[in-house]
Chain A
Amino acid sequence: MRLFKRKSAKVAKDRISFVLDSDRLTLSPKQLDDLKKDFSKMVLKYIKISEDDLNVSIKREGKKTVIIAEFFLKQI
């Protein structure tokens, strides 16, 4: 049972990362989710990809806030 339980520090990291993305963009969690879905839909038009292969993060770089969308492609 213990094996399948995620460590709480990992849960904390995921939760704070998500909430800061939504804070930094001043989007509600729902809107942030929709943004991520739309990103993958857009790419899906051209490339076969599942939603799990997409990582969207919002980072602060100096004075700018940057949206970074990473799509992990399968090796062809």
Chain B
Amino acid sequence: MGKSIVITSGKGGVGKTTIVGNIGAGLASLGKTVALIDVDIGLRNLDLVLGLENRIVYNLMDVIDKTCKLSQALVKDKRFKENLVLLPAAQTRLKEEVKIEDLKWVVNDLKKKYDYVILDSPAGIEHGFRMSTLSSDEAIIVTTPEITAIRDADRVIGLLESMEIFDPQLIINRVKYDMVKKGEMIHWKDIEEILSIKVIGIIPEDPYITISTNIGEPAILNDSSIGGRELRNVVKRILGEDIPLTIYQEKESFIDKISNFFKREKK
């Protein structure tokens, strides 16, 4: 029996969908079987992140309406043989049309066959968020170092608790290390302390993420992507490996080295 994990955030635009696509690809490339469910009905996007948009025939709603079998709606990602499948969201329906029980049976069915079932929750704390959460065993919350996202993450932690999902874990996305160093971006340790929650990833801001979405190939598959590298560590932590948290640091340029040398001299 597999495990279901919801990836959620409260606030929109923090990188949930990108992270779901990358974690899915990462787990699959390490030999795990993974089913990804796009629960953002009406605003489907996970297919684009994975580059699978042209291969969709059926979607989650067709499965629930019994227009097709569950196995027919799963889009296989050929890069990972049979290891990674996507259950796409319906683009022209409403979240409210899905009953919590319906999503639950889809998730439970997938758990029988796949090691991991990962749900891409819609932003917000309404029905879409609730049904994704109530269908999951565990939760991962995504935030950025902005206080608006942190506040929403805190609200989500409280709501998860009321739905009896305890000990969610946190991914801090889009961290600009040079700003943290200058004291112009809130430090990840402060975020961890404020939210009292375990951090399993600090993902640096990485322009390659835009390119990876442009071409439909998750950044985790690219060895030179700094975001991809930290996402690979997140995947290993999900698999239970004990990897210490690291913050990506830009290498000092020659000019930085000189200016830092003189700064030190002044002190």
Question: Which residues of A are interface residues toward B (Cβ below 8 A)?
Answer: 7-10, 12-13, 15-17, 19-20, 23-24, 59-63
Contacts and interface: CB of A to CB of B under 8 A. Distances in A.
Given A9-B184, A24-B158, A61 B147 contact: no
Of residues A8, A9, A23, A24, which shows the largest number of chain B Cβ atoms within 10 Å of its Cβ?
A: A9
A7 B184 contact: yes
Interface residues of B, number: 19
A63 B166 contact: yes
Contacts of B185: 9
Nearest to A19: B151
Given A9-B185, A13-B190, A13-B194, A23 B155 contact: yes
A24 to B, nearest CB: 7
Given A7-B182, A13-B186, 5 more contacts: A9-B185, A12-B186, A16-B150, A20-B194, A62-B166
Nearest to B164: A63
Interface in B158-189: 158, 161, 166, 180, 182-187
A1 B224 CA distance: 42
Most buried by B among A10, A16, A17: A16
22 contacts: A7-B184, A8-B184, A9-B180, A9-B184, A9-B186, A9-B187, A9-B190, A10-B183, A12-B147, A12-B186, A13-B190, A15-B147, A16-B150, A16-B151, A16-B194, A19-B147, A19-B151, A20-B154, A23-B151, A24-B154, A24-B158, A62-B166
Contacts of B194: 13, 16-17, 20
Given A9-B184, A13-B186, A20 B151 contact: yes
A60 B166 CA distance: 12
Contacts of B196: 59-61
Nearest to B154: A20
Contacts of B161: 63
B157 interface: yes
Contacts of B155: 23
Contacts of B187: 9
Contacts of A13: 186, 190, 194
Contacts of B151: 16, 19-20, 23
A19 B151 CA distance: 8
Nearest to A16: B147
Contacts of B183: 7-10
